[in-house]
Structure 1
Amino acid sequence: MLYFDYSATTPMSETALKAYIHAARHYYGNSQSLHHDGEEADNVLQLCRNSLMQLLNVPHHSIYFTGSGSEANFLTIVSIALASIHKGKHIIYLETEHHSVKQALHYLKRFGFTSTAIPLNSVGKVVKSQLEKSIKHDTSMAIIGHASSELGTIQDLGHLSWLLKKHDILLVSDCVQSFGKTEIPFESLDAFTLSSHKIYGPKGLGVAILRNTVQWQPFLTGTSHEFGFRAGTVDIPAIVAFTEAAEEITANQVKEEKRLKQLQALLISLVLTQDKLFVLEGDRLNRLPFHIALRRIGMEGQLLMLECKRKGIAISTSSACRAHFSEPPASLLAIGRSITEAHEFIRITFGQQTTEEDIHTLSQALLEISATYKEDLHGEIKEIVGRRTP
């Protein structure tokens, strides 16, 4: 099967897989144990933390390993919010955020927090004037993901951070989709999150980065792992593999981003120039290099996805975390699309294994499915009209 769902997950790289196996065999101790095996595991953990510290240009003690990117989002938002109650209980965010962000905001309601969604323009970008209008006297945090997993639109975090700092508002960003794929202004962020399995590392590992200047309060008190940020024994093999994957993907980032952009432009050209019923969503230029958000006017995205599946091609219709829910993607509604239009949405994402030949195969499949659907629909209309003819 041709795989075009790299936003949902990526296959582990050989480098990460070898590192995982080696660490699992040799560093199986609990990093909190005081015996030799525990000390060895802790030494490896600190080496990984130091490598990421240099890679991300953040202090050593600002890196916290979690069980997933979703958990990293939840713990980061809740931990900072609870420690910032004295500053205010209002949070601003984007409707295009990952579901885990919205879950955290829902949880904080029990502590009296309120939230406001920042209006977006038609391609999913934050407009400065709308951001300013969303700020209240008690706004303590802004949650603005670097890139939408559904639309692919990249936000100008450097520009937005400057405005937020004027109001003493912390900027928290979900960088899961963009890390290792395109440049991120880490220096503009007070806290951000990453996920291992989006960059060819193992599943079940996320990273929360909270700068030393940011106060936080643990979600669960009395824990000893990860400086008290998260309970549970850390997964040393996964952390080792993630570190290897992070170093590998960032080392090749510039070259791979250029290649992915070429594939992206090729697919857009092949499909949109030959079938005017396909519409590109999100920002055409400021978008993730491996990501294409499309609508086929008049055709359900689920139907198009299933027809691709029959042809041995994997695409998606939304974030994988919401794939089994029937409601339309919130990102499409947030940029003014109707419910019908939102249901037409499909997402195509590619990665290291994707070739130019794969792009041609996919484009041909999309065009064939679209053409067949038009013919079937036309025939159905003719049949209905024929039955009504006296």
Structure 2
Amino acid sequence: MIYFDNSATTKVDDSVLETFVQVSQKMNGNPSSLHRLGDLADGLLQQSRKQIASLLKVKDSEIYFTSSGTEGDNWAIKGTAIEKMRYGKHLITTSVEHPAVKESMAQLEQLGFKVTYLPVDETGVVSVSDLRKALRPDTVLVSVMAVNNEVGSIQPIDEIGEVLREYPSIHFHVDAVQAVGKIPLDLSSSSRIDLATFSGHKFHGLKGTGFLYIKHGRKIAPLMSGGGQEGGRRNGTENVAGIAAMSRALRLLFDQQEQKTANQRLIRDYLMDELSKYPKVQLFSTKKGAPHIICFGLQGIRGEVSVHAFEKEDIFISTTSACSSRNKTTSSTLSAMGVPEKTATGAVRVSLTDTSTMEEARQFLTAFDALYQNFKDIK
């Protein structure tokens, strides 16, 4: 089996799963309980928080555990909107965001907020000058993903941050779900990023785990009320075993990170070079993008047809975003990039991880060539 759908989810690392099992079996106390078992669970929780903070070079108190990247995006956006609505009700995002961001913005629009959706160029990248022009006196939030989950385009986060230094009252949120461990991401005290979303299952952790970075001094309203967990900001009993496993997964991700990233880039470039040789293949990703994502289409063949054809060869890829692939709608990212709908319906995504190999890439291309020969006469 060749698994090339890592942007949807990654395989849980064996040692990460073992951590989850061991903690689940041996440390079953509620971290909010006052007795010894509660203290032990809380100790592990804080140890995990400290390790994640250390890896990202931020303060322990700036890490808040969530259940997913979707929850983190919702919390960052809606929490900011609720907290700052008395100062303004204008939000800025891009036209190529993950559904968790776009749907959060849409819900806020129904509640009277105004949202500006920045356009992108043909590579899926926003213009910093467009962002500057969109800023208003009542703007309270800018939310821009670091790496697009469908085509891998990298947004100019540092440049946007420099613009926002002139507007210290505006919260700057970055969806870093596809970025962590793939591209440099500065969350240090000197960074302009105020909020950043992460998801454990994107880096070999378990599904149902994630965390939100909230810079010290920045206030956002909680989405859930309850028993005061996570400093009263994210209420609900913490998933201690999942968090401990996620902490280990993040540590493993950063081990020899540069070498892992370079290997993914090498495989990506090889696949892109080979795919570009086929007349009926159109590449939607560029080599300036993230090292692990390749989006392409085969002329005249719907994306889901390609996915299932590869599946018969025991090769697993996806049709752009996993969160919206089952509804068979055209990619909003490709539409925003100016790709015609007829072309966009053929889009598929290959996404790598640090365990992907060149041999897998060669086997993929062998299977692709056979499929291409079968499909090439279809108009």
TM-score (norm: length of structure 2): 0.95
- 1:281 corresponds to which of 258, 281, 284: 284
Question: Following the alignment from structure 1 to structure 2, what is the Cα–Cα distance between the partners of residues 248 and 265?
Answer: 25
Structure index of larger Rg: 1
1:238 alignment counterpart: 242
- Taking the aligned partners of 2:224 and 2:262, their CA distance within structure 1 comes to 43
Supply the distance in 1 between the matched residues of 2:14 and 2:159 (Cα, whole angstroms): 38
Aligned match of 1:344: 346
Amino acid of the structure 2 residue aligned with 1:330 = S
Percentage of pairs with the same residue: 28
Q: Is the CA contact 1:69–1:193 (under 8 Å) kept in the aligned structure 2?
A: yes
Cα distance in 2, alignment partners of residues 39 and 50 from structure 1: 16
Q: Which of residues 186, 190, 194 is equivalent to 1:190?
A: 194
Measure the CA separation in 1 of the matches of 2:61 and 2:79. 16
Task: Specify the alignment match of 1:118 in structure 2.
Answer: 118
Aligned counterpart, 1:203: 207
| Runs (5+) with no aligned partner, structure 1 | 379-390
The aligned residue for residue 301 of structure 1 is 303
Mapping of residues 24-63 of structure 1, within 5 Å: 24-63=24-63
Asked whether the 8 Å contact 1:94–1:143 carries over to 2, the reply is yes
- Find the counterpart in structure 2 of residue 385 from structure 1: none
Residue 278 of structure 1 aligns to which amino acid in structure 2?
V
Tell me how far 1:83 sits from its aligned partner.
0.9
Q: CA RMSD in A?
A: 1.4
Task: State which of 201, 213, 221 in structure 1 corresponds to 2:217.
Answer: 213
Residues 286-365 of structure 1: matches in 2 within 5 Å?
A: 286-365=288-367
Determine whether 1:164 maps to 2:168.
no
By how many angstroms is 1:110 displaced? 4.4
Of 111-120 and 221-230, the range deviating more from structure 2: 221-230
After superposing the two structures, state which structure 1 stretch, 100-109 or 250-259, moved more. 100-109
User: Is the aligned partner of 1:178 residue 2:179?
Assistant: yes
Q: Quote the Cα distance in structure 2 between the aligned partners of 1:167 and 1:204.
A: 35
Bigger mean CA offset, 115-124 vs 221-230: 221-230
Q: Give the Cα–Cα distance (whole angstroms) in 1 for the partners of residues 185 and 369 of structure 2.
A: 35
After TM superposition, give the deviation of residue 361 of structure 1 in Å: 1.1
Match in the other structure for 2:79: 79
1:246-285 alignment runs, 5 A limit: 246-273=250-277, 275-282=278-285, 284-285=286-287
Distance in 1 of aligned mates of 2:20 and 2:272: 37
Distance (whole Å) between structure 2 residues aligned to residue 289 and residue 188 of structure 1:
24
Shift of 1:252: 2.1
More displaced stretch, 105-114 vs 116-125: 105-114
Per the alignment, in what secondary structure is the counterpart of residue 136 of structure 1? Answer: coil
Equivalence for 1:16: 16
**What amino acid does structure 1 have at the position aligned with 2:173?**
V
Larger relative helix fraction: 1
What secondary structure is seen at the aligned counterpart in 2 of 1:166?
coil
Distance 1:69 1:9 in 2: 12
Q: How many residues align?
A: 375
Kept in 1, the 8 Å contact 2:164–2:192? The answer is no
Q: Which runs of 5+ in 2 are unaligned?
A: none
Greater mean deviation of Cα atoms: 358-367 or 38-47? 358-367
Cα displacement (A) at 1:41: 0.3
Q: Residue 150 of structure 1 contacts residue 318 of structure 1 at CA under 8 Å; is this kept in 2?
A: yes
1:58 shift after superposition: 1.7
